Amino acid sequence: MDTLTHALSGALLARATAPKDAPSRSVPRRIAAGFFAAAAPDLDFVLAFVSPLVYLEQHRGPTHSVLLLPLWALLFSWVLAKILREARGWRALYGVTALGLGAHILGDLITSFGTIIFAPVSDARFAWGTTFIIDLWFSGILLAGLLACALWRSSRAPALAALAVLVCYVGLQAVLREQALDFARDYARAQALQGVQISAYPRAVSPFNWTVYASDAGAHRFAHVNLWRKEPLSAAHDVIGRMDAAFQPIAQARWETRERYGASGEEQALAQSAWNSPALGFMRWFADKPAFDGLTAGSTCVWFVDLRFLNPGREWVPFRYGACREGAHTPWRAFERLEGAARQAVD
């Protein structure tokens, strides 16, 4: 989830949990502490300046750990007490800081990127996959709640009401996810597909937009569908309109296929060698829907993409990695694929 939405969630939660008898002058500090604490875990963006690989492996890691949350709450409450000039010291802000950090972790868990909530004990990624990483409806509910709090400053009711609406909204998304999964299961049965993994990921613009998958050891079959509309949307020129129009009614779903290792036998052998090499160990750990993304002409480079991040209506796809080698008997080396023919070593 984007950092601003995280921060808004922390501010709203801070207001909703403020004691009824709290002095009016302490409430703004509490809201500010919740705002900054809920944004703080995304400070791990600095890892991108170290290397793309470090960022991929550690983003949503230690700063998003429920095991380390008490220690982070201690650190950030001490810092925020200094910044906000809290006369009672860090103890007065520890609880709301912990709530803000917890709200951030929960906000990332409902997306599909994956959050390492048990770092540093385990590097397993957890994702509930109900909500797109940038959900304007989700953010709008938070913002509306905070605006209502500004109008009715003496009451926690607007904050509590907004949180209740938010819980209902995510609950609706969970129901829609099950509907998307049912649609994918029906497709797999109709096509007599055996041994496939069924999955669904939320997409941008609308909570009814989903990409569903039926994946096996050789390929991913997927479709971009809208669970609500009965007729396709007309093509649009703006970015949001293009993205939304790409999702078809389920009765008119267009299924596509992407191979995991390419189409031809020689191509598949080369791709499997690259994919199973030590160089791409990080990609095997990270990618949930890995697919072959082509060869670079004139050199031995095999590229892969994670279809989780393939959003129709948007040409750019993040997290494109591959392996290159100089000869058949030399080791593979990991690279990130940039625009055009550019590449960047990640080891």
273-316: pLDDT as tens digits = 999 999 999 999 999 999 999 988 666 899 999 999 988 877 78
Answer whether residue 208 is part of any domain: yes
Q: How many structural domains comprise the chain?
A: 3
- Same domain, yes or no: 229 and 315: no
Q: Which of 93, 112, 128 is the last residue of a domain?
A: 128
- Same domain, yes or no: 115 and 203: no
Furthest-apart CA atoms within the chain: distance in Å: 73
- Same domain, yes or no: 275 and 248: no
CA angle 118, 122, 126 (to 5 degrees): 60
Lowest model confidence (mean pLDDT) among 79-88, 157-166, 327-336: 327-336
Dump pLDDT digits (tens) for 161-192.
Answer: 999 999 999 999 999 999 999 999 999 999 99
Domain with 221, as residue range(s), is: 175-259
- Same domain, yes or no: 27 and 97: yes
- Same domain, yes or no: 15 and 118: yes
- Same domain, yes or no: 9 and 107: yes
Answer whether residue 22 is part of any domain: yes
The first and second tokens of residue 227, run together, are 């669970």
Answer whether residue 69 is part of any domain: yes
Report pLDDT for 343: 85
- Same domain, yes or no: 123 and 65: yes
Using DSSP's 3-state secondary structure scheme, residue 74 falls into helix
Q: Which of 93, 128, 163 is the last residue of a domain?
A: 128
- Same domain, yes or no: 292 and 250: no
Q: Which of 259, 278, 297 is the last residue of a domain?
A: 259
Q: Enter the pTM of the model.
A: 0.92
- Same domain, yes or no: 12 and 105: yes
- Same domain, yes or no: 330 and 254: no
The first and second tokens of residue 19, run together, are 């004691």
- Same domain, yes or no: 225 and 184: yes
Cβ-contact 1, 105 below 8 angstroms = no
Q: How far apart are CA 177 and CA 230, in angstroms?
A: 18
